[in-house]
Amino acid sequence: MSRKNLDKSALQIEILTHLRRNGATTLSSMRDKFLISQPSLSRILSSLKADVLVIGKARETRYAALRKIDNCSEFPVYEILNNGNSRHLGILYAIYPQGFYFLTKTHDAISSLFPDIPYFLNDIRPAGYLGRLIPLQNQDLNLPKDIQLWTADHCLKYLSIRGWNTVGNLIVGEKAFQLYLKNCQNPQHAINGKNRKKQYPLYATEILSMGDPGSSAGGEHPKFTTILLPENQHVLVKFSPPANTDIGIRIADLLICEYIALRVLKKHGQDAADAEIILQDNKVFLEVKRFDRMGKFSRRGLISLGSLDAEFSGVLSSWSETSIELAKNKIIPEDLLEKIRFRELFGEYIANNDMHSFNLSFITQGQRVIDLAPTYDMTCMLFMPRNYQIIPIEFKPPLPLVADKKIWKNVYLAAIEFWKEVLKDDRISSSFKVIAKKCKDKITDLKELAALLPK
């Protein structure tokens, strides 16, 4: 059967409709579908270049119909480097029927098709306490009020217009990049570090006055970000409710415990975020230095274990088990596994039952993982209030494992020191010190069991 007599414009419509329904398609499959010669098909596809994206080269070439998100089909992706410079990492194209194609512009990123936002951009999607405030702060974008209802297109619309200050060092879209430049020139939400005690309660009130951002994972702390001058130190600040109720006192205790945990880990040779406790207006403020920001202009790339797991392994398990699989697949360096296990076991011994896959991250360059990011969000989450109540819960530390015998003693010593520091810290409530004493005793009881491990 020949298609020679078919009107060219009609064939253009047929081909474009086919691509929109079927996604990226090879030239040979379209030739078989429409029964026309390859030269004729190539000429028609060339005439549709405003609506059709060419993917790959030679025999691997495929064609996809471009779709628009807020009247735009292609979005440049920029990477802010740790020397303060930036580079064009690649271009993200929105294609039919859904998904994206990323075209790399560098040697350390790979061009590929993605059914959703690419995994290396997943961590800049709005999430958490601050993420849930974004619809309230950007009502002019007409996005759903609940970010859990946001599609990939909703996320990309926001990111390409307002996403200049997300986690890590990637910026999507020219408008967002222009906002980044504007804020480099005139930093917003920057304060003199000497005024923190006065300013932090005001920021806390401002954040809380925006209203309820919606449900969250149990125990997530309200927080805000700012820049401390003159050092241009970017910080994330968590804060407690007023410490005049049992709930407020407990959350204040756990913020102080987080500070202690980070300090103890650093003392024991493990990388952890720098933090400071500030007491003001009957609240506890935990100020954590952002390790994805360095000075006024420089940034570091970050990607979570959860994003890597979803793309490359699908283990959906503990930090260690997921990381082992990623190391086998050459996604992360194998020499990071011992550090990850140390951090995980320490968390288990300080009653942190919230070590989900987005609470462990890696330093990146382009799409390449180059190191483990410092420890963050490490505290005794087992004792976090639930449903606005403090529930008595028994701490049950795991028994020593043969596989951990190389690091177990050092983890044990770090955990014991943590509980000792909690017990002697005057800022910790007497009620939590009762809990801490029981936890310390249970960890101490493990020492004799560890001696039974095979040499």
Q: What is the 3-state secondary structure (H, E, C) of 410-436?
A: HHHHHHHHHHHHHHHCCCCCHHHHHHH
Contact 106, 366 (CB under 8 A): yes
31 and 117 assigned to the same domain? no
- Angle separating helix axes 337-349 and 408-424, nearest 10 degrees: 40
Amino acid letter for position 47: S
Alpha-carbon distance of 339 to 152, in angstroms, equals 34
- Check residue 203 and give its pLDDT: 95
At residue 198, does pLDDT exceed 50?
yes
Mark which of 26, 41, 65 sits at the end of a domain: 65
- Check residue 218 and give its pLDDT: 34
At residue 399, does pLDDT exceed 50?
yes
At residue 6, does pLDDT exceed 70?
no
Using pLDDT thresholds of 50, 70 and 90, give the confidence band for residue 217. very low
Alpha-carbon distance of 314 to 17, in angstroms, equals 34
Upstream peptide bond of 115 is cis (omega within 30 degrees of 0): no
Q: Is the pTM of this model over 0.85?
A: yes
Amino acid letter for position 215: S
At residue 404, does pLDDT exceed 90?
yes
**Which domain does 48 fall in, by range?**
8-65
Question: Residue 176 phi/psi, 5° resolution?
Answer: -65, -40
Using pLDDT thresholds of 50, 70 and 90, give the confidence band for residue 4. low
196 and 338 assigned to the same domain? yes
- Check residue 46 and give its pLDDT: 92
Is residue 2 domain-resident? no
192 and 61 assigned to the same domain? no
Element (H, E) at 260: helix 246-267
232 and 179 assigned to the same domain? no
- Check residue 321 and give its pLDDT: 97
83 and 216 assigned to the same domain? no
Alpha-carbon distance of 323 to 197, in angstroms, equals 40
Is residue 3 domain-resident? no
DSSP state at residue 194: G
Is residue 1 domain-resident? no
Amino acid letter for position 260: I
Alpha-carbon distance of 86 to 190, in angstroms, equals 22
Is residue 16 domain-resident? yes
56 and 27 assigned to the same domain? yes
Q: What is the mean pLDDT of residues 283-312?
A: 96
- Angle separating helix axes 27-34 and 8-22, nearest 10 degrees: 130
- Check residue 387 and give its pLDDT: 86
**Farthest CA pair distance, the chain:** 89
Is residue 130 domain-resident? yes
What's the structural domain count of the chain?
A: 3
- Check residue 152 and give its pLDDT: 97
Element (H, E) at 31: helix 27-34
Lowest-pLDDT range, 37-41, 244-248, 354-358?
A: 37-41
168 and 271 assigned to the same domain? no
Integer CA distances (angstroms), 141 to 149, 154, 159, 170, 228, in order: 15, 9, 11, 21, 30
Tokens 């509980």 correspond to what residue?
A: 419
370 and 322 assigned to the same domain? yes
228 and 333 assigned to the same domain? yes
Using pLDDT thresholds of 50, 70 and 90, give the confidence band for residue 285. very high
The pLDDT tens digits for 68-92 are 999 999 999 999 999 999 999 999 9
- Report DSSP letters for 374-403, one per residue: PB-S-S-GGGS-BTTB-------PPPP-GG
247 and 388 assigned to the same domain? yes
Is residue 454 domain-resident? yes
Alpha-carbon distance of 320 to 410, in angstroms, equals 17
Using pLDDT thresholds of 50, 70 and 90, give the confidence band for residue 215. very low
Domain CATH number, residue 23: 1.10.10.10
Alpha-carbon distance of 79 to 171, in angstroms, equals 6
Mark which of 41, 65, 89 sits at the end of a domain: 65
Mark which of 164, 185, 206 sits at the end of a domain: 185
Q: What is the mean pLDDT of residues 189-199?
A: 94
Contact 267, 277 (CB under 8 A): no
277 and 401 assigned to the same domain? yes
Is residue 317 domain-resident? yes
Is residue 325 domain-resident? yes
Q: What is the mean pLDDT of residues 347-367?
A: 97
145 and 198 assigned to the same domain? no
Alpha-carbon distance of 423 to 417, in angstroms, equals 10
